[in-house]
Amino acid sequence: MKKLSLQLVAFFSLFNANAQSGTLTKNILLDAMFDSNIPLAGYVSELSNNSNELKIDSSNSAPYALVAGGSKGIGYAIAEALAKRKYNLILIARHADSLIAAKNKLESAYQVHVEILVHDLALEESAVEIAQWCIERDIPLKLLFNVAGFGGTQDYLSLPLDTLRYMVRLNVESAITLTYALLPLLEKNAPSYILNVASMAGFAPIPVKNIYSATKSAVIFFSYSLRYQLRDRGISVSCLSPGPVFTKPEIVKDTKDKLGWFGMKMAVPPKRVGEIAVRKTLKKRMMIVPGTLATITAFIIRILPRRVIVSIYDKVGKKQ
Ligand SMILES: NC(=O)c1ccc[n+]([C@@H]2O[C@H](COP(=O)([O-])OP(=O)(O)OC[C@H]3O[C@@H](n4cnc5c(N)ncnc54)[C@H](OP(=O)(O)O)[C@@H]3O)[C@@H](O)[C@H]2O)c1
């Protein structure tokens, strides 16, 4: 029984790490670095041509939520759950087309204001530029969601250093710098909320996913500490650590191939993840793991000794 539960834990957790972005790791990096459609710096939005003229509609006093990585996947689902609750939104991503599509859908369905900013969050200057944009306009910002991140299926020992640096910058540095840069505004609009998106892969070391699990573990530790640091300032900090979420066809395929029916049962649809993330963030929950099976799996991973779980991950990882 014990052996079986250990195998299940290892299997699910490894899958979670693998499922992250399928084989997209390299492509995303190359996209970000070379795709001319992706502005590597600066803001571009429907307002970009006259950004100094942007005025927040004073007749609409609803507070704003900023979703970093809010055009697709879990970030979009979070944005939708916020729009349902009548929060105005600032969405950030690299591609203008998906941002515009998200804005149009949300504005027409929920009658909220959606501002869009094109930024590569992995770039050093992005956090300060985004915060400056918000501060100059005195945005009534009450919620910050650090969602953007990526993983991959390759052995990280074989990845180029630039790819690893990009992962660390996006998964860890962008969440930390955006949080710090926006703290003055969040404090001004307190009570306010921060949600950092980690992963179940952050609960234990995963040899074949060394850097990904390390970055997500950093996000978890950062969130726990920050929660204590900010509790007297009226800012609540939460951390979302999902298992598999079907945001891309590759993740569905990986789930079927590696976990079969149980994996399909454990996966939580993006829309539900977004809803749970927003509801529990507003309830000031620290750790949020959507789905019952994922919650049980996460619990077991967290109580197992590290040397046990890491060796299970290693064995299971080598079989694939
Ligand atoms: N899906 C899962 O199974 C799963 C499980 C556990 C944890 N997570 C975590 O949840 C988060 C979201 O995952 P997801 O599956 O929803 O991802 P996704 O579907 O690929 O969406 C990622 C979002 O972030 C944006 N983004 C990506 N790189 C960016 C960059 N460098 N700068 C600015 N925006 C960027 C994307 O837009 P652009 O491409 O236009 O930039 C998109 O809006 C990640 O942190 C991931 O590690 C996911």
Please give the Cα distance from 136 to 171 (Å, whole number).
Answer: 27
Sorting pLDDT into bands at 50, 70 and 90, what band is 316?
Answer: low
Please give the Cα distance from 125 to 122 (Å, whole number).
Answer: 9
Query: Ligand 1 center to residue 130 CA distance, Å?
Result: 18
Which class is domain 2-46+58-319?
alpha beta
67 touches ligand 1 (CB under 6 Å): no
Domain residue ranges in the chain: 2-46+58-319
- The protein residue with its alpha carbon nearest to ligand 1, atom 27, reads 148
122 touches ligand 1 (CB under 6 Å): yes
Query: Ligand 1 center to residue 199 CA distance, Å?
Result: 12
Burial profile 6-18: b = 16 or more Cβ within 10 angstroms, e = fewer = bebbbbbbbbbbb
> What is the rounded average pLDDT of the residues 78-92?
98
| pLDDT attached to residue 259 | 63
| pLDDT attached to residue 264 | 86
Q: Which of 247, 272, 289 maximizes ligand 1 atoms within 8 Å of its Cβ, making it the mutation to test the pocket?
A: 247
> What is the rounded average pLDDT of the residues 33-51?
36
**Closest approach atom of ligand 1 to CA 94:** 41
pLDDT beyond 70 at 46: no
Please give the Cα distance from 320 to 316 (Å, whole number).
Answer: 7
> What is the rounded average pLDDT of the residues 53-62?
53
Query: Ligand 1 center to residue 147 CA distance, Å?
Result: 6
Beta bridge partners of 141: 64
**Closest approach atom of ligand 1 to CA 122:** 31
Please give the Cα distance from 162 to 126 (Å, whole number).
Answer: 18
pLDDT beyond 80 at 22: no
Q: Which of 94, 146, 209, 256 maximizes ligand 1 atoms within 8 Å of its Cβ, making it the mutation to test the pocket?
A: 94
- The residues near 293 (Cβ < 8 Å, ≥ 6 apart) are 243, 262, 265, 266
Inter-residue contact 144 to 195 (CB < 8 Å): yes
Inter-residue contact 68 to 89 (CB < 8 Å): no
| pLDDT attached to residue 153 | 63
| pLDDT attached to residue 255 | 72
Structure tokens that stand for 48 in this block = 């970009």
Please give the Cα distance from 172 to 312 (Å, whole number).
Answer: 26
263 touches ligand 1 (CB under 6 Å): no
| pLDDT attached to residue 313 | 74
Find how far residue 148's CA is from the centre of its chain: 4
147 touches ligand 1 (CB under 6 Å): yes
Please give the Cα distance from 219 to 172 (Å, whole number).
Answer: 6
**Closest approach atom of ligand 1 to CA 242:** 6
**Closest approach atom of ligand 1 to CA 68:** 34
| pLDDT attached to residue 96 | 98
| pLDDT attached to residue 11 | 41
Minimum mean pLDDT range among 101-115, 269-283, 305-319: 305-319
**Closest approach atom of ligand 1 to CA 148:** 24
Q: If you average pLDDT over every residue of the chain, what do you get? A: 83
pLDDT beyond 50 at 28: no
> What is the rounded average pLDDT of the residues 277-306?
96
Query: Ligand 1 center to residue 158 CA distance, Å?
Result: 22
Q: Which helix (H) or strand (E) holds 225?
A: helix 210-230
- The protein residue with its alpha carbon nearest to ligand 1, atom 44, reads 149
Q: Please state, for a pLDDT cut of 90, what percent of the chain lies above it.
A: 68
| pLDDT attached to residue 155 | 72
- DSSP labels for 261-306? HHHHHH---HHHHHHHHHHHHHTT-SEE--SHHHHHHHHHHHHS-H
Query: Ligand 1 center to residue 126 CA distance, Å?
Result: 16
Please give the Cα distance from 309 to 291 (Å, whole number).
Answer: 22
| pLDDT attached to residue 15 | 38
Please give the Cα distance from 73 to 79 (Å, whole number).
Answer: 10
Sorting pLDDT into bands at 50, 70 and 90, what band is 60?
Answer: low
Minimum mean pLDDT range among 165-179, 187-201, 240-254: 240-254
Closest CA to 119 of 184, 63, 194, 169: 169
SS3 call for 310: helix
Query: Ligand 1 center to residue 163 CA distance, Å?
Result: 16
Sorting pLDDT into bands at 50, 70 and 90, what band is 208?
Answer: confident
| pLDDT attached to residue 241 | 98
- DSSP labels for 154-207? S-GGGS-HHHHHHHHIIIIIHHHHHHHHHHHHHHHT-SEEEEEE--GGGGS--G
pLDDT tens track for 109-136: 999 999 999 999 999 999 999 999 999 9
Query: Ligand 1 center to residue 4 CA distance, Å?
Result: 32
Q: Which of 18, 29, 74 maximizes ligand 1 atoms within 8 Å of its Cβ, making it the mutation to test the pocket?
A: 74
> What is the rounded average pLDDT of the residues 139-157?
89
